[in-house]
Structure formats: structure tokens, C-alpha cells
Structure 1
Amino acid sequence: MARNDPLIISMLAETNPQSQSFTKNLDLFCYFVRFKTVIRAVPGVKVSDITFAGIPVRVYEPPAGGEGHLRRGLMYFHGGGWAFGTTSESLIGSYDITNRMVSDELNTVVVSVEYRLYPDAHFPVPYLDCLAAAKHFLSPEVLAKYSIDPDRVAVAGDSAGGNLAAAVAQEVNGKAIFCIMSVKFSVQALIYPVLQALDFNTPSYLQNQYIPLLYRTNMIQFWLQYLNIDLSLMPEFFVNNHSALQHSSLTPELRSRLDWNVLLTQKYKKNYNPVIVEKGSEGFLKKVPSLLDVRAVPLLAGPEVLAKCPRAYILTCEHDVLRDDGLMYARRLQDAGVAVTSDHYEDGFHGCFSLTSWPLEFDVGKRALRSYLNWLQNNL
């Protein structure tokens, strides 16, 4: 942290996510962060709030004009557990600053999507919002309007936004229904993405269950809210009852696609053992089919879909419950023949990518952001 501000210290002193004061403190803290970061916006970038296919978006156009030469394009989906965040603000930082930097430094037209959030929307609404905006963005007419090179268009997102970016990339690049589209994504950048909801006992979920800024309890709750599952069923998810062996719809083939005992190296498996339940809640997956829907759970996609996905940058952090989601997806993409840059931060934690300026300023966040920018510079 760059400053020993007493207000920040007092608001962060309460770190128990079960505390009644936690939400109140978090809201106050986020308001303070947004107030302080708004003055650090990158000048020169033209910002427009418009709609793509009826979906609100914020478009960032670089200072250099598009006349006579083509620019990069990038569509960004923000994080926040499908419940928080906007095109400009995260819970803890500013997407606006990051998107302005990408636009300015990389001469890129960035489109940040304002998809609908919980409690007003559940799956598949946020996904469909993002897909509709992506299809509009990739149309030849829109690319020409913004002078974007159709061979240099990326999709990116962090956390829940990484989930949406992965799912949209699979749909646009990997599904036969979109084969008629002349333009597809050339690269994808996933920042500590959340990719599966069938195993909340992976090594990273257990190792980091009490590590801020994303607790295991909170991530399970985000999933239940997104999939419109009664929160009273949360205990079932803690012990993997929802993915017990008795569920015939979760076939051995599907289980292999998120088998961390195979997909992770020993460095990340450590001394943890898989939590496999023989008999769980009867008929659970039939009642909640979205748990097996690849549009919500991209890690379950088949190899034939993954093989068509664009080359990927996947950022993971050691102190993050979602670490193994990203590592497993990187492995599965590589096994399918996709070029993957796996960027892991041993000192990283969930949310660090957004913590790059005062009042919350971490060296690991700055390194992660710079790595993301460099990868886009060299690959997009």
C-alpha cells in the first residue's frame, strides 16, 4: 500500500467476510477509492457511452486518429462476481484507468461492456448481453467505423469477466453456428478467471479459502446468485454434494475436464486430495442444469471447441481461490493445440490487477498490468 492513510487502515481492519459490518465497510471503502482514482484518468483518449445491439458499452478511442491506418480492437468484460462493478469501476479500483492505458499505449479501440448484473439478472442474461455486444463489435461495419484491423481483435476480462470472455470466445471461435462470421477473436486475455462450479475443494480453494480479497464462501455465493440457486443450498457446495458420483449426467468424460489431480502439476496439487462424494443430493444436477452448461462453466468445453479458440494469455495468482481454474484451463487449451501464455504470480492475490494506483498500490499489481500490456503489444 502506497500510503498509511488512517481511513484506509480503519476500513480494512475488519476482514471477516461473515461480519455484519463487512459490507458496510466495503461500500464505504470502494466509494473512497473511486473518488481518489477518478482524477488519474489518462488524458487524450476519447470516451463515448453508447450501445452495441442494445447493450450499454463504453468505447475508448486512442488519441492517434484512425485515418489511413488500422488499429487494434479489444472488448473487455469487467469482474465483480456477476453482481458488482461497471464499465468504469471495480469493487476496488478503476477499470476506466486500465482501459484508457490500453487504448493510449497500444493504439487500441477498447469496448467495455455494461452487462446486466445480479439481482436484476441471472445466467444466461449476462452471458447473452456480452455475446450480443461481441457479435456487434465484430461486424465488418463496426470495425470499419472505428478503423480496426479485423485480424487484430481481442476479448479480455477479469474474474467473472474472465468467465464471460472465455465463454464468448468459445462461442464465437469454436461453435459451428458462428462459422458464417467473417471476423473472429484473434486472442483472448483472461485475468484470474472463474471457470467452474463443480469442485469447490481444489487445492487453491482450500489453501486460500480465508485469503482476501475473495473468500471461498463469497465465490460460492456468487455462483449461486449467478445460476439462480437458493442460497440455503450453499452447504451442499462446500462438500461437493452437488457433483457426487451418483449424478449420471456428470459423465466420466466431463469429470476428466476438471480433474485437477491430472491437470495440475505437483507444485500446485501439493498435499491435497480430491474430495469425491459417492452419494450427494439426489437429482441435484437435473434441477440445476446450468451447472453443466459450458456457457456458464467454460472449463467443461470439449476439446473440439477448445481447439478452435484463439491463443490465450491467462494470469493466475498463488493466493487466490481461482488459481486452479486458470491453471486447468491453460492446460486444457494447450492439450487442444492452442498457444497459451500462462503468467503466474507467486506473490499475487485476487484483485491485485486493479490495485495499481494510490490509495491501493501494490507492486504485484503493477507488474501484472505491465505484463498484460506487453503481451497484448506483442500478440495482438
Structure 2
Amino acid sequence: MRLNVTAAVLLSAAAYYVYLPLPPGVCEPWKLMLLDALFRSFMTARDILGLKQVHLLNHVVSLVEEVPARSCSALHVTDSALAGIPTRVYRPRAGQALKRGVLYFHGGGWALGSARMRSYDLLCRKMAEDLDAVIMSVDYGLAPESVFPAPYLDALSASRSFLSADTWDRFGLDPNRLCISGDSAGGNLAAAVTQTLSSDPSLPTQPRVQALVYPVLQALDFQTSSYQQNQAVPILYRPVMARFWLQYLDADPLLEPSILNNLHSCALDPITRSKINWTVLVPAHIRKHYRPIAVDTSTGAELAPVFLDVRAAPLLADDVVLSRTPKAYILTCEFDILRDDGMMYARRLRDAGVTVTSDHYDDGFHGCMVFANLPMMSSVGRRSMEGFIRWLDQNL
């Protein structure tokens, strides 16, 4: 009897720790709660051990998640490099002589993750097999050791190499069927380098398409309708995203309260503000009843120029730059603070004349596609992955 009581108490405590109120409509909410509980456990361990959050998480990832470059009957998998940037390459053994190519940048707030993570390894294997394409997954430098613009420059160097004749010859790529892609912070890098490359006439070829998965694209408005609606929805909370931005931009972490309340951007000029005006750029049925939060301009903080750098915030690019970029795929999720970033970018690209496919998941949440291959992850992850790969197959 005593054992049963103890077990019941422990089970109740575990359920209390895991349970988190979620908005109705989230796909398989208990699976999301379990994933969130795992992340919160890492944070608790950090506090107890006195370790920096990103270092602890990356250490756990390296021990648990990283997998070697294993080839199989269908794929030749190697750890290589593009312009000196570590890159894992997935090459189909059969199929067309010249392959489509996808350059992929992983997510993780510019501070976490790796191309060698099991989840990204499985994603890239599936992409390579289903598309009969060469997938190149880049390990750009991570914060806090590598801060802006270093990760962007890593991504740009790898992208220039990806588009070079030497790489086509080496890996058997079709230069007319190349894509630049990424998720979350990797989607930020993919968008930023695509803008830069598309404005460079000296390149021997250009990416045919860009594919962005719940990208983070601006750090001026932390009160968009999706930030307001989803600020307490895992796995990406509003304060966490603010910390990722401050670390990436090498800004003072004490600015967190200011940027969460948009005090750093209260004096934006009208042109810049129009580029992030979610009350216009996000469809009414998506933004719902949410309204901009009033800001006391008398308490505004000075805006550091880095927040306006389009290489860090691709949503701020001018229309003429956007107009040069290739056909785009943008995946967004309803229960994601970054939803409006993707929605606004899709609208701005369309207004600039770019063909855009918006793929929105009403039951999706941040990170769902990447974790689609893990046992506890939800059906929306599998559906979003299938939709992403299907679009690439039809457009690349």
C-alpha cells in the first residue's frame, strides 16, 4: 500500500510538472507538453549547476542527439565543407545523373542545434531520398562565441560555394535547380543570404527557389498579434526569443524588458514601420482581435543600428531587393510567436512581384516539422514535412 501511495504521489507530481494550459486547437497537446517539460528540465539543471543555458543544451544535444554521417544503400552521407564551413552532404546513389540541390540551415536561435542532430539528419535523409536531390546541411557558427554578422557570413560563404561551378562538378548538381532553405533562425539566414545573392549579378547561377520554415525575420516588434497570442505557448516563448536576438546581435541582455515592450523601436521612421506593420500585412482572420500595444515614447530606449540591419532582419529589405529574389515557400504555424513574421514576409514578397506559396498549419506550433521523426511528436509535424517536400518536388 505504501508503495502504491508513493507511486501515486510521484505520478501526480510528474503530471503537475508536465501539464501546461494550451489553447484549443493545438495538435496532440500532451506531446507538446512533454517536449516542453524536457526543455524546462534543461533550464532547471542549468540554474542548479550554474551553467549557461546554451552551453548546457548544446552539451546535451551532442551527447544525445548528434549522430555520425552514416551512409546507406540509398544515400552516400559524408561530413564535408563549403568554403570551409562544416557541411553534412546527402547524395542519392541512383536516380538522375544531375541532381537537384538544397542548401539547408538548421534552426536553434543562432545558438543551438547542429546539422548532425538526429532530427535534422532524418529530415535531410528524407529530403534526399524523396526528391532524388543532394542535400547540404550547414553548421554555421553559433552564439555566444559567434555573433552577428559571423553566422550570416558563414551562411553567405557556404551559399556562394553552393552556387559555384566547382561544387556542381564535385557533387553532380544541376545549376538550374538549386534551393536555399532553413527553419526558424536558419530560415532567417536563408532569407538574408537569398536577398544578398539575388542582388549579385556576378554569380554563375542563382537559386531557383527559397523555402523558409517558420522563419524569424525581425527584432523590432515583439507585440505582433502572434507574439501576443502565443507568448505562453511552447516551445518558443516570447522572452526566450528576445534573449536569442540579444545574444545573436551581441546586444546588452539588460535590454530584454525594453525590447519586449517595443521601447527600442518607438521612434521608427514611417517607411521602416510600414515594413513590419502587421495590422496591414497580416490577414485579418489571422491577426484576429489583437491590436498594437501603446508605447510610452517618453521612456523609449535608443535603437542600436544593428536592429535595422537587413542582413539580420530580412523583413526590413526594400521592395527592389525583394523583387529580385526567387519563387518562395513560407511555412507558418498558428501557435507560434513567429507566425506573423512569415505572414508579413509572404505579403511583402507578393507585393514586390514574387510568386509565394504560403503553407499555414492551423494546429501547428514552432518546431513541429523538425521534430516530426521523433516518437513523441505530433501528426502536424509529419504533415508539414510532407507538404514542404511536396512543394520542393513540384517547384525545384
TM-score normalised according to structure 1 size: 0.88
Partner of 2:86: 56
Pairwise CA distance, 1:30: 5.4
Partner of 2:349: 333
How far, CA to CA, are the matches of 2:375 and 2:70 in structure 1?
11
Secondary structure, counterpart of 2:44 in structure 1: coil
Secondary structure, counterpart of 1:346 in structure 2: strand
Secondary structure, counterpart of 1:105 in structure 2: helix
Change (3 A) 1:38 1:59: closer
Please tell me the residue identity of whatever aligns with 2:141: R
Would you say the 8 A contact 1:75–1:112 is kept in 2?
A: yes
The reply on whether 1:251 has 2:269 as its aligned counterpart is: yes
RMSD: 2.9
Question: Which deviates more, 57-66 or 235-244?
Answer: 57-66
Question: Which deviates more, 232-241 or 270-279?
Answer: 270-279
Superimposed CA distance per residue, residues 34-72 of structure 1 (whole angstroms, 9 cap, x where no aligned partner): 38x889997531111122111111111112166xx3110
Superimposed CA distance per residue, residues 249-307 of structure 1 (whole angstroms, 9 cap, x where no aligned partner): x321111011001101111221111125352566722xx21100000000000000000
Partner of 1:20: 44
Change (3 A) 1:32 1:318: farther
Question: Which deviates more, 10-19 or 116-125?
Answer: 10-19
The reply on whether 1:260 has 2:278 as its aligned counterpart is: yes
Within-5 A mapping of 1:277-292? 277=295, 279=297, 284-285=302-303, 288-292=304-308
Secondary structure, counterpart of 2:297 in structure 1: coil
Pairwise CA distance, 1:20: 3.1
Change (3 A) 1:40 1:271: farther
Would you say the 8 A contact 2:87–2:136 is kept in 1?
A: yes
Task: Give the counterpart of 2:373 among 333, 354, 357.
Answer: 357
Partner of 1:314: 330
Partner of 1:77: 105
Task: Give the counterpart of 2:116 among 85, 88, 107.
Answer: 88
Partner of 2:185: 160
Partner of 1:106: 131
Partner of 1:237: 259
Change (3 A) 1:311 1:252: same
The reply on whether 1:44 has 2:66 as its aligned counterpart is: no
TM-score normalised according to structure 2 size: 0.84
How far, CA to CA, are the matches of 2:379 and 2:71 in structure 1?
20
Secondary structure, counterpart of 1:360 in structure 2: coil
Superimposed CA distance per residue, residues 124-161 of structure 1 (whole angstroms, 9 cap, x where no aligned partner): 00000000011011011211222211110000000000
Q: Which runs of 5+ in 1 are unaligned?
A: none
How far, CA to CA, are the matches of 2:318 and 2:124 in structure 1?
32
How far, CA to CA, are the matches of 2:34 and 2:382 in structure 1?
24
How far, CA to CA, are the matches of 2:34 and 2:330 in structure 1?
34
How far, CA to CA, are the matches of 1:39 and 1:183 in structure 2?
29
Secondary structure, counterpart of 1:117 in structure 2: coil
Superimposed CA distance per residue, residues 72-108 of structure 1 (whole angstroms, 9 cap, x where no aligned partner): 011000000000011121xxx6100110111111111
How far, CA to CA, are the matches of 1:348 and 1:10 in structure 2?
16
Partner of 1:140: 165
Secondary structure, counterpart of 1:94 in structure 2: helix
Task: Give the counterpart of 1:367 among 383, 390, 395.
Answer: 383
Secondary structure, counterpart of 2:78 in structure 1: strand
Please tell me the residue identity of whatever aligns with 1:80: G
Would you say the 8 A contact 2:71–2:78 is kept in 1?
A: no
Would you say the 8 A contact 2:258–2:301 is kept in 1?
A: no
Q: Percent identity?
A: 47
How far, CA to CA, are the matches of 2:68 and 2:285 in structure 1?
40
Would you say the 8 A contact 1:15–1:22 is kept in 2?
A: no
Partner of 1:297: 313
Structure number with the higher helix fraction is 2
Change (3 A) 1:150 1:213: same
Pairwise CA distance, 1:359: 2.6
